[in-house]
Amino acid sequence: MSRLKDDGADQVSNAIDLTSLSFQERLAIGLMRLKAQRRLTNKDLADQLGVSEAYMSQVTRGMRDVKLSTLDKMQREWNVTIEDLFRISENDLARIAAWRARRRKKKTTDEPR
- What pLDDT shows up at residue 113? 58
Beta bridge partners of 16: 4
Locate the domains of the chain by residue range: 21-106
Judged against a pLDDT cut of 50, whether residue 67 lies above it is answered with yes
Average pLDDT, the chain: 81
pLDDT band of residue 112 (cuts 50, 70, 90) is low
Chain segment 19-40, per-residue pLDDT in tens: 778 889 899 999 999 999 999 9
H/E element, 4: strand 4-5
- Region of poorest pLDDT, from 8-12, 27-31, 87-91: 8-12
| CATH number, span 21-106 | 1.10.260.40
